[in-house]
């Protein structure tokens, strides 16, 4: 069977018409990294280039989670640099190809289209499953519930390797919960970003706007206690929660902007199984109102304060 396929491909190559390679076209095809090399007559070089870019890009994303902001910016640029290098290499491959180059079987338009669709529908989803679902993923913020630490329109990096602990900001996925109370039913298709305030065994009590953990007032430089909450009871000095003990395999979580009440004060304790990962950094931030990047937030660390 394989011999028959090889013979057919050889026949196609022998019948190939002379078709000099155009370096500029090789660069344009590099919008799908590696396709430019395939066009230039270097099929396996193109495959190796694409595979290398995928691996290096994900390694850079993982390294980004554990590096200072200054180095993180460099790691952010690696995928773009990789694409540029591959495009330049495609140009070089096409430029050095002889003018008598005969079009081969992998230079046919339908093969280009098949290559692109195969990468789009198989390799990319597979890498996203292996890395994006298990190691690191991104999350776009659509509310100001964690301001000023996290702003609306921030794109966050979620570390799925680090176990959550007190003080961490985490991404919660309520679709993973087996039991839903009335409040979580409202947001059952939602994901929320909240800060872990107390761990299993801790005693939690809130008196007015004062938070006590194990009987001691918790100093929270990250918290804002603004007015205008849709939950007016949280702005009242008469508000009282607890004391309650955090059960096993659960956490007590609050929003940094305390006028947002959609947290453990209403939702109850959050199970460890409902945590998607720890928010490590701001990947980048786009100001939709001003239609501009917030460059100062790019690769910004979100360490425990």
Residue range 3-60, pLDDT digits in tens: 554 555 555 554 568 889 999 999 999 999 999 999 999 999 999 999 899 888 888 8
Which DSSP helix (H) or strand (E) runs through 206?
A: strand 203-207
Side-chain-side CA neighbours of residue 254 (13 Å): 26
User: Among 264, 283, 246, which residue's Cα sits nearest to residue 194?
Assistant: 264
State residue 295's pLDDT score: 79
Q: What is the mean pLDDT of the chain?
A: 81
Given pLDDT bands bounded at 50, 70 and 90, which one contains residue 301?
A: confident
State residue 182's pLDDT score: 46
State residue 133's pLDDT score: 66
State residue 49's pLDDT score: 93
pLDDT exceeds 60 at position 192: yes
Average pLDDT (48-77) is 82
Asked if residues 64 and 79 have their Cβ atoms less than 8 Å apart, the reply is no
User: Among 278, 281, 282, 290, which residue's Cα sits nearest to residue 135?
Assistant: 278
Q: Which two tokens stand for residue 122?
A: 């198989």
State residue 234's pLDDT score: 60
State residue 302's pLDDT score: 82
DSSP 8-state class, residue 181: -
| Residue 35 burial class via C-beta count within 10 angstroms: exposed 0-12, middle 13-18, buried 19 and up | buried
Distance between CA atoms of residues 249 and 185, nearest Å:
21
Given pLDDT bands bounded at 50, 70 and 90, which one contains residue 96?
A: very high
Distance between CA atoms of residues 152 and 146, nearest Å:
8
User: Among 205, 240, 218, which residue's Cα sits nearest to residue 166?
Assistant: 218
> Which has the higher per-residue pLDDT, 137 or 35?
35
Distance between CA atoms of residues 37 and 185, nearest Å:
51
State residue 229's pLDDT score: 47
Annotated domain spans of the chain? 2-134, 137-301
Side-chain-side CA neighbours of residue 205 (13 Å): 8
State residue 2's pLDDT score: 47
User: Among 189, 205, 183, 199, which residue's Cα sits nearest to residue 253?
Assistant: 199
Which DSSP helix (H) or strand (E) runs through 158?
A: strand 154-159
Domain 137-301, CATH number (from 2.10.109.10, 1.10.760.10, 1.10.3720.10, 1.10.10.10):
2.10.109.10
User: Among 162, 25, 172, 47, which residue's Cα sits nearest to residue 101?
Assistant: 25
Given pLDDT bands bounded at 50, 70 and 90, which one contains residue 84?
A: very high
User: Among 120, 129, 194, which residue's Cα sits nearest to residue 156?
Assistant: 194
């Amino acid at each position: 069977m394989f011999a028959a396929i090889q013979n057919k491909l050889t026949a196609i190559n022998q019948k190939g018409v002379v078709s000099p390679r155009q370096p500029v076209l090789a660069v344009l095809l590099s919008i799908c990294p590696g396709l430019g090399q395939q066009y230039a007559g270097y099929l396996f070089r193109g495959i190796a280039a694409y595979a290398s870019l995928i691996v290096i890009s994900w390694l850079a994303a993982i390294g980004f989670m554990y590096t200072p902001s200054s180095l993180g910016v460099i790691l952010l640029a690696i995928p773009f640099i990789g694409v540029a290098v591959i495009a330049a290499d495609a140009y070089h491959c096409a430029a050095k190809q002889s003018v008598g180059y005969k079009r081969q079987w992998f230079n046919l338009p339908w093969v280009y289209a098949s290559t692109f669709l195969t990468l789009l529908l198989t390799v990319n989803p597979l890498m996203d499953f292996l890395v994006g679902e298990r190691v690191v993923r991104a999350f776009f913020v659509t509310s100001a519930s964690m301001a000023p630490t996290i702003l609306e329109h921030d794109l966050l990096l979620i570390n799925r390797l680090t176990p959550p602990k007190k003080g961490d900001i985490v991404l919660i996925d309520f679709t993973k919960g087996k039991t839903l109370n009335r409040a979580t039913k409202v947001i059952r298709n939602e994901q929320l970003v909240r800060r872990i305030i107390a761990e299993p065994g801790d005693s939690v009590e809130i008196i007015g706007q004062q938070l006590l953990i194990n009987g001691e007032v918790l100093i929270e430089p990250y918290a804002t206690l603004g007015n205008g909450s849709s939950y007016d009871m949280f702005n009242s000095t008469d508000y009282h929660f607890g004391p309650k003990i955090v059960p096993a395999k659960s956490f007590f979580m609050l929003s940094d902007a305390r006028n947002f009440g959609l947290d453990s004060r209403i939702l109850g304790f959050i199970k460890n199984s409902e945590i998607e990962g720890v928010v490590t950094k701001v990947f980048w931030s786009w100001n939709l109102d001003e239609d501009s990047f917030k460059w100062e937030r790019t690769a910004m660390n979100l360490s425990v304060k």
